[in-house]
A = this chain, B = another copy of it.
C-alpha cells in the first residue's frame, strides 16, 4: 500500500496548487445536495466524494461495515468505526483518486453519482457533538489576559503551568461555517456604573482556535495516557469561540464564562484527520517547571499549522488582522486529553475539545480583538479605512488555517460567520 501522505501523489481530479484539499488531505464532512438527504463526504480539490454512493458502488467491501453509516446527518457512526477503519477508508479513497488508477477515473457513469462539485452542495455540522470542552492552552494568550485583567507582573495564575486549564462549554450552539447569528444581549456592568445594565454586547470578539474531535470512546473510570491519546482523536477543525467581553467580565466570577460564550460558536465543515497532519509534527513548547508524570510525553507532538483571521466588513474589503500558528500551544492535544480523563471522566465519539485562543508572542499574532486592540485601547485600522475595537454588525469573521511542507498544503477550508444586529 502507498502512504496516502506521500507528497508525490497526484489525482486524476485536477487540484489547484493553492487548494486546501489535495489528495494528501482527504478530510471528512457532511454535505447536502438540493432535495436530497445529508450524507458523508470526503473533499478533494473543488469536489466532494459521496461516501454513500461510493459505498453502494461497492468500493468499501473490505471495510465490513454497515453501509448506512454514510447516510446520517452527522459523521459519528463513520468516526465510530474506529481509527483503523477510518484510516482504511481514507486509504481506499486515496487509491481510487490516484492519477494512475482507472477504476473510477475511466467510469464517467459512476463519477456522475459519486463525485459532486462542491459549489453544488451545502456543508452541514460534521458531527453530533456530545460534550464540548474549551482549553486555555496558549501561554501568550493566557499571559495577555492575565496582564489586562489581573496583575501585569504575575499574569499567569499559579496552576497554569501545572495543568491544561479548561472549562465545559455549550454544545447546542456550535454551528457550521456560514451560519450567521444575532449579536447577543445580556447583563454587563460598565466600570463607572453602580448597577448592571442590559443590552446588546458592546464588545463582541472572536477567538482564533482549533478543536479536535474524539473518535474512540472510553468508559467512566478509564483514563487515556498521553502515549495512547492519538488513538482517541479522529481529527481537527478550525473553531471560532465567539465571546462577549463585557458580559464575560461581569458574569465569570467565580464559576467561569457562561452567557458570554454560549450564544454561538463556529466550526469549519471539514474534519482534517490527524493522519493527514502527521507530516507537520514539530517539537512541543519547552515546559518548565516539569509537569507531573501523567502529563509527560515524548517525541514531536506539536503541529505547525498556520492560522489567520480576516475581518470582512459588510461593504468594505477584507483585512487580515492576525497571523498565528498552532505551534504556539504550550500544552499538546495528548496532554489535554490525558488531563481531561485522568479523573475517570468518560469521552464519547463526537466530543469536541478546543484549544483555547491561540496567540503568538508578537502583537501581530494575537488571537482575539481584546488582545489585538489591548482591550480597545489601540483600535485596529482596516483596509477600508474604518476602525475596530471589537466586531461590528455586518462584519464577517473568517478563520483560515493550513500546514505546508514539501510542496503539500493541507488546509482546513474556512470557518466564517457574519454578525447580524441584535434581535428586538
Contacts and interface: CB of A to CB of B under 8 A. Distances in A.
A162 B196 contact: yes
> At the interface, is chain A mostly helix, strand, loop or mixed?
loop
Interface residues of A, number: 61
A255 B166 contact: yes
A339 interface: yes
Contacts of A158: 189
Given A172-B348, A175-B220, A186 B343 contact: yes
Nearest to A163: B187
B220 A173 contact: yes
A170 B130 CA distance: 9
Contact of A256 (B130, B157, B189, B255): B255
Given A182-B344, A184-B343, A264-B220, A254 B255 contact: no
Interface string A327-345: 0000000000001101111
Nearest to A222: B423
A331 B85 CA distance: 50
- In the complex, the count of this chain's copies comes to 2
A172 B262 contact: no
Contact of A251 (B163, B189, B294): B163
B221 A251 contact: no
A168 B168 contact: yes
Nearest to A294: B198
A346 B171 CA distance: 10
A153 to B, nearest CB: 17
A292 interface: yes
Given A130-B171, A159-B196, A195-B289, A136 B255 contact: yes
Contacts of A244: 343
A247 interface: yes
Nearest to A253: B157
A292 B197 CA distance: 8
A374 interface: no
Contact of A172 (B170, B252, B351): B351
Contacts of A253: 157, 159
Interface of A: 130-131, 136, 157-159, 162-163, 165-173, 175, 181-182, 184-187, 189, 195-198, 220-221, 244, 247, 250-259, 262-264, 289, 292-294, 339-340, 342-348, 351, 423
28 contacts: A131-B172, A136-B255, A157-B254, A159-B187, A162-B195, A165-B251, A167-B258, A168-B168, A168-B169, A168-B170, A168-B262, A171-B171, A172-B347, A172-B351, A173-B345, A181-B344, A184-B344, A196-B292, A197-B292, A198-B292, A198-B293, A220-B263, A255-B256, A255-B257, A259-B339, A259-B343, A263-B344, A264-B344
Pairs A-B, 6 closest by C-beta atoms: A256-B256, A184-B343, A167-B255, A168-B168, A255-B256, A263-B343
